[in-house]
Structure 1
Amino acid sequence: MGYYVRVESGVKLYVEDINPEGSKTVVFLHGWPLNHKQFEYQFNVLLAMGYRCIGIDWRGFGKSDKPMSGYNYNRLADDIRTVIGVLQLDNITLVGHSTGGAIAIRYMSRHHGYEVSKLVLVDAAAPIGFTTETANTFLKEALNDRPKMMQDVTDGFFFQYITKSFSDWFFQLGLQAAGWSTAAIIKMLRDEKLDRDLPKVFAPTLIVHGVHDKVIPFAQAQELNQKIVNSQLVPFHYSGHGPFWEERDKFNQLLRQFIG
């Protein structure tokens, strides 16, 4: 079931709420520049097990509205807080991949983990996101040849082999975003840091990270593990930036065990 949730005047987020009567609720925050559909292979498994799965497209991405402003961690975290409040969610597991993981960390810090009982960070873009060099390369491409940028993202995303069909599907997910929001998030990942947020995350936290990640180095996952109390780090030795797909059976089993 799809909803549009108003998060501020003139801005609505698209929310996919599947199996609302499920036993436990899992909320997914996608990575840049994708949308909630990246978690298709988690939805398939968790729904069959009776969980409620909610995928949120951030502003500017997927089916959500695409305003010209609001592309910073505070606003994006506030958007998530509004959705959780409107849908009256409680006792949720919050799963964030890459930039979605960074947004989840800001949410936990800024909103004191409101209604989140467990947190899952998947190759999270934290405490820093892109280096200045990487960001500026992506930014130039985003503003001049966004399809090339998205192809470069796709090519560097996975450690394991992907078929052309899967690559084409993944590529199209990224192009569903607006050009301006794609560029704005690149700047956010370059300029905003999350060091001060980490000591404010208190929920039990599972950190999953691909050892071969070329986007966010594995060392950053180790830093998260050191600075987030009550956290555990599970390396994925056959994954790049996408363990949710590259080692999906292992990932889904681990996620299911952690949710309980």
Structure 2
Amino acid sequence: MGHFIEVETGVKLFVEDIGEGQPVVFLHGWPVNHKMFEYQSTELVKQGYRFIGIDLRGYGQSDRPASGYDYDRKADDVKAVVEHLQLENIVLAGFSMGGPIAARYMNRHKEFKVSKLMLLAPAAPRFTKTDHFPYGIEASEIDGMIASIQEDRPAFLAEFGKQFFHQEPSDPFKQWFGSLGLEASAHGTIQSALALRDEDGLEDLPGITVPTLLLHGTEDEICPLDFSLYLAEHLADAELIKIENSGHGFVFEEKEKTNNEMIRFLKR
């Protein structure tokens, strides 16, 4: 079932809602949409969980307004979906850019209705280096990415896809994955890149108290494993599982391992 849910006046998000049972709410990465979780949704529904995949503003089938691409507004969007669907006892799962948005939700909205958290190759607590956080890329590299997007977005997405995977995917898969990025608005893609460059989620970490599963590919070239090693040390109740021989796209490269770890954590 698909819902179009108004999260603020004139802005609706598309939400995929499949299955019954405890809701697992997925927040996708940049610059794709909820379809990236298709291999998780099928397994979770089979195991008796309710899969809820949100297309963040600017992505997939959601509206693409001029503003609202900061983490605060995106966290508020998630809360609006949770309230509209009257969800309880949620497991919130954030992948890559969805990770710091999930963390912001937890802190800003006092863990509203969330009983467990999954951070999947999270771009958290921040994506770029600063004087107080030594991991990630230089902020200037984001500026170069934005210039490439404005020059030739399909070519940029194809190149970005190469970084995404450690194992070589099939050509049809590459085409499918690239198409997810092309479904996004160029404006939303760029505005979210600015948020990845500038936003800082270090202050969100003390607001996360629920059990947290960190899943991270050991060969990740986009969000280094250092991010999750840092989070494992700074979250109240975190377990880190390293996904061997896989990169940022471990949810595709090691589907069975990923799904088994998720289900183990959900049943814990």
> C-alpha separation between the residues in 2 aligned to 1:12 and 1:132?
31
Percent identity over paired residues: 44
Match of residue 171, structure 2, among 159, 164, 173:
164
Matched, 1:5 2:5: yes
Out of 192, 202, 220, the position equivalent to 1:185 is 192
Match of 1:16 in 2: 16
Q: CA deviation at 1:133?
A: 3.0
**2 CA distance for matches of 1:217 and 1:24?**
31
| TM-score for the superposition, normalised by structure 1 | 0.98
Instruction: State the alpha-carbon separation in 2 of the partners of residues 229 and 153 from structure 1.
Output: 33
Per the alignment, residue 237 of structure 2 pairs with 230
What secondary structure, in the 3-state scheme, does the structure 1 residue paired with 2:69 have?
Answer: coil
Equivalent of 2:30, from 29, 32, 35?
A: 32
Alignment equivalent of 1:248, drawn from 232, 243, 255: 255
Cα distance between partner residues in 1 of 2:6 and 2:21: 26
Query: Which range is displaced more, 128-137 or 69-78?
Result: 128-137
Q: Report SS of the residue matched to 1:145.
A: helix
**What is the match of residue 259 of structure 1?**
266
Alignment partners' CA distance in 2, 1:51 and 1:77: 23
1:177-209 Cα deviation digits (max 9, x unpaired) = 000100001110001111111111111000011
Aligned to 1:79: 77
How far, CA to CA, are the matches of 1:101 and 1:195 in structure 2?
A: 12
CA drift at 1:23: 2.1
Equivalent runs, 1:89-108 vs 2, <5 Å: 89-108=87-106
After superposition, residues 61-140 of structure 1 pair within 5 angstroms as 61-130=59-128, 131-140=138-147
Aligned match of 1:54: 52
Q: Report the counterpart of residue 132 of structure 2 in structure 1.
A: none
Amino acid across the alignment from 2:90: I
Q: Distance in 1 between matches of 2:223 and 2:76?
A: 24
Q: Distance in 1 between matches of 2:260 and 2:51?
A: 16
Q: Does 1:205 align with 2:203?
A: no
1:218 equivalent to 2:225? Answer: yes
Q: Secondary structure at the match of 2:117?
A: strand
| Counterpart position of 2:133 | none
Task: Letter of the 1:189 partner, please give it.
Answer: L
Tell me the TM-score normalized by structure 2.
0.95
Q: Does 1:176 align with 2:183?
A: yes
**Residue-by-residue CA offset, 1:204-248 (whole Å, 9 max, x unaligned):** 000011110000111111001111110011111111001111111
Count of matched residue positions in the alignment of Structure 1 and Structure 2:
258
Is there any run of 5+ residues in structure 1 with no aligned partner, and where? none
Structure 2: runs of 5+ lacking an equivalent: 129-137
